[in-house]
Structure 1
Amino acid sequence: MKLGNKYSWSVCLFLSAVLLHPPDGCGTTPAGVGVMVGDPTGLTAKYRFDANNAMDLGIGLDDFSIHVDYLWHDWNVLPQSPQTRLAAYYGFGAGLKDRKHDSILMARALGGVSLFFTSQPFELFAELVPVLKLTGDSGLDLDAAIGVRYCF
């Protein structure tokens, strides 16, 4: 698949979510879908179980990868405002990457920051992810990504 086609599908999915759901603040909705840039670059989804606990899913499109993480949000570390909610988060998860036809199983630990808008349906995030590659070219790696999710 050509690189342009991968990003076209990402943009179509993101725009479909935006156009099919009326705006609402991220503070009242449990789910979000969007795009992320970095390692991996691709699609992202998040489901919040409550204010502090969530699961996220990432699908990388540069080298195909998929990961799932459990996240804990801490709302007391960073300053808050009436227009936004800022959370530090940390968690752990697992992933699988296909690099040059070599499958790599990964253990992930991550930390990041999420910015939620109280009157707009968007979440911005940035995260650093130390990765332990368990198979293939085993060893340590560091992934980083920034992204945006549309909340619904």
Structure 2
Amino acid sequence: MRKLTFFCMLALSIGLATSNQALAQYNNWSVGFRIGEPSGLNVRKYFGSNHAFDLNIGTYGGLYGTRRSYRSGDYKSVGLSVQGHYIWHKALTSSESLRGYYGFGGQINSRRYYPPRLNGEYENALSLGGSGIGGLEYFPAGKPYSFFLEGGVYVELLQAPFFLNLNTGLGIRYNF
């Protein structure tokens, strides 16, 4: 995972250093990979000039440690997560190579939960909550891909109301 993170950061640095002008391609679909919380497949559908829907499907609980206190017990594993956000985005440079965005949506997670009443055994815990993100997306000149860096928060509503978790990530998307 460290090698993949290094590769993404290296590719972003090279892209930033070599671009003169961007031909941003943010008005269609994009598919990529996100490393962070959650990690996994990232799909984005752009609408018009400044709206999008972003979907992440992957793992939850790995970046900030697989063992966390939760309700009266613990999480001790990585789980599955589905996260969706409605996004507003805006060009931050005249060439539109760098765009800022923010959005709000929800998240569903499934992890192994170890309550004290089960004496070391687990039960599957399904949780549901709201989330918000903000980030930056860079479109290298004339390239069909983009790099992104984002951060946000997940606030659980069902199983453990107001359980908070940071949602951060970086990744790459292929725009078509």
Structure 2 vs 1, CA of residues 104 and 79 (structure 1 numbering), >3 Å: closer, same or farther?
A: same
Deviation at residue 106 of structure 1 after TM alignment: 1.5
Identity across aligned pairs (percent)?
A: 32
Query: Residues 3-14 of structure 1: matches in 2 within 5 Å?
Result: none
RMSD: 1.7
2:154 to 131, 134, 137: 131
1:119 to 129, 142, 152: 142
- Aligned pair count? 124
SS at match of 2:79: coil
Q: Is the 8 A contact 2:36 2:170 kept in 1?
A: yes
2:40 is matched with 42
Distance 1:80 1:142 in 2: 32
Greater alpha carbon shift after TM alignment, 29-38 vs 137-146: 137-146
2:115 is matched with none
Q: Aligned letter for 1:70?
A: Y
Distance 1:118 1:74 in 2: 17
Q: Deviations over 1:93-149 (max 9, x none)?
A: 011000111011010111000112341110111111111111123322211010101
Deviation at residue 28 of structure 1 after TM alignment: 6.3
Q: Is the 8 A contact 1:26 1:151 kept in 2?
A: no
Q: Is the 8 A contact 2:83 2:108 kept in 1?
A: yes
Distance 1:103 1:80 in 2: 44
Please identify runs of 4+ aligned residues in structure 1 that moved more than 2 A: 78-81
Structure 2 vs 1, CA of residues 144 and 35 (structure 1 numbering), >3 Å: closer, same or farther?
A: same
Distance 2:98 2:52 in 1: 15
Confirm or deny that 1:151 pairs with 2:167.
no
Confirm or deny that 1:105 pairs with 2:128.
yes
SS at match of 2:165: strand
SS at match of 2:142: coil
1:22 is matched with none
Q: Is the 8 A contact 1:27 1:118 kept in 2?
A: no
Query: Residues 20-59 of structure 1: matches in 2 within 5 Å?
Result: 26-27=24-25, 29-59=27-57
1:9 is matched with none
Q: Deviations over 1:48-68 (max 9, x none)?
A: 011200001100135211011
Q: TM-score, normalised by structure 1?
A: 0.75
Deviation at residue 29 of structure 1 after TM alignment: 4.8
SS at match of 1:117: coil
Stretches of structure 2 lacking an aligned partner (at least 5 in a row): 1-22, 60-77, 113-123
Q: TM-score, normalised by structure 2?
A: 0.65
